[in-house]
């Protein structure tokens, strides 16, 4: 039995379990960000450059292995890849917890990042859920990722104040073990297997998507967004310390700021969607982030200014973190969303790596002010690039199982022509191997029942 919106108990349990696994892993990756610059000073080889490397280096292995791990899950199964990824994450956490030098901690972070299971988790969510409830499952996973970042900003400083830096890494190892247990005892086996192009990357599409200027703008945007994030957290914790806020009290600032930022973006997201102002709000958020970074640079010694800067920063960050995947979903060609998301995710994690290294180098030679001002300047570049973005808000995607024989090329071409002739259908793609039709439609004029009638559902 399913609820009135088509979300069965099995799908609901699987979605929340996968969201929890994904969220705990991201929580473990993020918890180190607000504390390493403060609590890593006793490590051998400690320097601002190594602070940046440790914070961001997980992104390098994550970026390199993100797409290959998804492909591997197509061959050997989703769960084995998730088990392996969580195990690597646990091993990396233990290595970092037991290390007495920044070099050992960096190796641990490299191992953490090598457990790249995002693609396998999303593919498993697609395997377990039906098409009509898949969007809801992905939304649950997305919300959990966002919450994991907020929790990490608070929990990291709390754990470090009681148990030190090693305690934070031991906690991440525990989270990985809990994730493995959840996979074993709480995740149902998928109802079907197979490549689903909305969540897995198709190699033959890379060339086409890497030439798509609209998608490249989004890839560049997520790279800069996470570059900024890791660079900021090389310098901001020490800036708070210099302003007189003791390390164990940093969560006092992060908690209310993050909660208020989530409250502030809700009306912005609603108004943007209803009035087709997503692009305008997106560009405004880049400028808000630039202002926040300038305030961080000039607010040295003033907790009030730094708190305002962080509120502006996280409000803009959270809005863009929610908006970028939505834009990508609407702009990706029919049947290419999984490939587009793979390139996007790779850009995101590579940006985190670049931001850590850049932030460390800048802090080493220019101090926190140099970090904030130069990263603020990069927002100007992003604003210029974002001016060419399309302002789509009513484009939707649908995947429909094909209920008729499509063995002959003539029948496939006929079905494709009939789908493209329907009102509101912008693109259509038939994948015989999957027995599916991928549609990209204008939500204002498309009628799903008409498409189902065409393919005899």
Is the model's pLDDT at 285 over the cut of 90?
Answer: yes
Domain match, 8 and 78 both: yes
Residue 314 to residue 301: CA distance in whole angstroms? 20
Higher-confidence residue of 407 and 93: namely 93
pLDDT 10s digits, 99-143? 999 999 999 999 999 988 988 898 888 888 876 677 788 878 888
Domain match, 205 and 179 both: no
Walk across the sheet containing 395-401 and list its strands. Answer: 395-401, 436-442, 425-431
Domain match, 281 and 388 both: yes
- Looking up residue 226, the CATH number of its domain turns out to be 1.20.1250.20
Domain match, 332 and 449 both: no
Distance of CA 340 to the CA centre of its chain: 13
Note the helical H segments in 34-77.
Answer: 36-39, 48-56, 58-76
Task: Judge contact between 154 and 314, C-beta under 8 A.
Answer: no
Domain match, 382 and 411 both: no
Domain match, 211 and 313 both: yes
**Tell me, what's the pLDDT at 11?**
85
Task: Judge contact between 424 and 446, C-beta under 8 A.
Answer: yes
Say if 167 falls within a structural domain: yes
Say if 336 falls within a structural domain: yes
Say if 196 falls within a structural domain: no
**Residue 222 φ then ψ, to 5°:** -70, -30
Q: Please state whether 367 falls in left (phi above 0), alpha (psi between -120 and 50) or beta.
A: left
Task: Judge contact between 43 and 109, C-beta under 8 A.
Answer: no
- Looking up residue 423, the CATH number of its domain turns out to be 3.30.70.100
**Tell me, what's the pLDDT at 222?**
95
Domain match, 223 and 186 both: no
pLDDT 10s digits, 232-266? 999 999 999 999 999 999 999 999 999 999 999 88
What does the DSSP assignment read for 263-286?
Answer: HHHHHHHHHHHHTT-HHHHHHHHH
Domain match, 388 and 403 both: no
Coil, helix or strand for 210? coil
Domain end (from 372, 393, 414):
393
Domain match, 401 and 256 both: no
Greatest mean pLDDT among 54-63, 422-431, 440-449 lies in 54-63
Domain end (from 191, 216, 249):
191
**DSSP-derived secondary structure letter, 394:** S
pLDDT 10s digits, 334-381? 888 889 999 999 999 999 999 999 999 999 999 999 999 999 999 999
Task: Judge contact between 357 and 52, C-beta under 8 A.
Answer: yes
The mean per-residue pLDDT over the stretch 300-328 comes to: 92
Domain match, 295 and 205 both: yes
What percent of the residues of the chain are helix, what percent strand, and what percent coil, each to the nearest 5? Answer: 75, 5, 20
User: 400 - beta bridge partners?
Assistant: 437
How many structural domains does the chain have?
3
Domain end (from 393, 414, 431):
393
**DSSP-derived secondary structure letter, 265:** H
Coil, helix or strand for 428? strand
Position 446 confidence tier, pLDDT thresholds 50, 70, 90 = confident
Domain match, 161 and 221 both: no
Helix (H) or strand (E) holding 123, with range, is: helix 118-128
Which residue range is the domain that position 209 belongs to?
A: 201-393
Say if 317 falls within a structural domain: yes
Domain match, 70 and 212 both: no
């Amino acid at each position: 039995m399913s609820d009135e919106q088509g979300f069965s108990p099995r799908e609901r349990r699987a979605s929340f379990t996968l969201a929890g696994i994904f969220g705990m892993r991201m929580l473990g990756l993020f918890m180190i960000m607000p504390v390493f610059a403060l609590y890593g000073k006793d490590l051998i080889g400690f320097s601002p450059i190594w602070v940046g490397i440790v914070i961001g280096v997980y992104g390098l292995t994550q970026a390199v292995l993100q797409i290959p791990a998804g492909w591997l899950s197509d061959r050997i199964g989703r769960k084995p890849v998730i088990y392996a990824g969580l195990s690597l994450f646990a091993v990396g956490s233990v290595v970092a917890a037991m290390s007495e030098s920044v070099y050992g901690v960096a190796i641990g972070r490299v191992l953490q990042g090598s457990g790249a299971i995002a693609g396998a988790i999303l593919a498993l969510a697609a395997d377990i859920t039906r098409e009509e409830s898949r969007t809801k499952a992905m939304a649950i996973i997305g919300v959990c990722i966002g919450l994991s970042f907020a929790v990490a900003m608070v929990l990291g400083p709390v754990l470090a104040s009681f148990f030190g830096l090693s305690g934070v890494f031991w906690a991440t190892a525990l989270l990985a073990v809990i994730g493995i247990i959840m996979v074993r005892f709480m995740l149902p086996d998928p109802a079907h297997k197979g490549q689903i192009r909305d969540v897995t990357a198709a190699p033959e599409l890379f060339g086409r998507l890497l030439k798509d200027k609209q998608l490249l703008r989004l890839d560049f945007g997520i790279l800069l967004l996470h570059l900024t994030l890791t660079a900021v957290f090389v310098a901001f914790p020490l800036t708070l310390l210099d302003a007189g806020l003791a390390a164990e009290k940093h969560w006092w600032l992060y908690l209310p700021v993050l909660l208020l930022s989530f409250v502030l973006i809700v009306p912005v997201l609603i108004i943007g969607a209803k009035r087709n102002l997503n692009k305008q709000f997106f560009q405004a958020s880049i400028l808000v982030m630039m202002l926040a970074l300038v305030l961080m640079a000039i607010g040295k010694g003033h907790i009030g200014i730094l708190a305002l800067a962080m509120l502006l920063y996280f409000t803009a960050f959270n809005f863009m973190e929610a908006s970028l995947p939505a834009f990508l979903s609407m702009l990706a060609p029919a049947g290419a969303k999984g490939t587009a998301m793979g390139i996007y995710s790779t850009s995101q994690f590579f940006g985190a790596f670049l931001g850590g290294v850049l932030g460390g180098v800048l802090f080493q030679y220019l101090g926190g002010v140099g970090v904030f001002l130069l990263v603020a300047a990069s927002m100007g570049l992003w604003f210029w690039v974002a001016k060419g973005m399309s302002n789509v808000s009513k484009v939707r995607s649908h995947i429909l199982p094909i209920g008729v024989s499509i063995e002959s090329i003539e029948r496939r071409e006929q079905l494709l022509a009939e789908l493209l002739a329907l009102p509101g259908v912008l693109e259509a793609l038939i994948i015989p191997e999957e027995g599916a039709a991928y549609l990209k439609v204008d939500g204002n004029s498309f009628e799903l029942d008409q498409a189902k009638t065409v393919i005899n559902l």
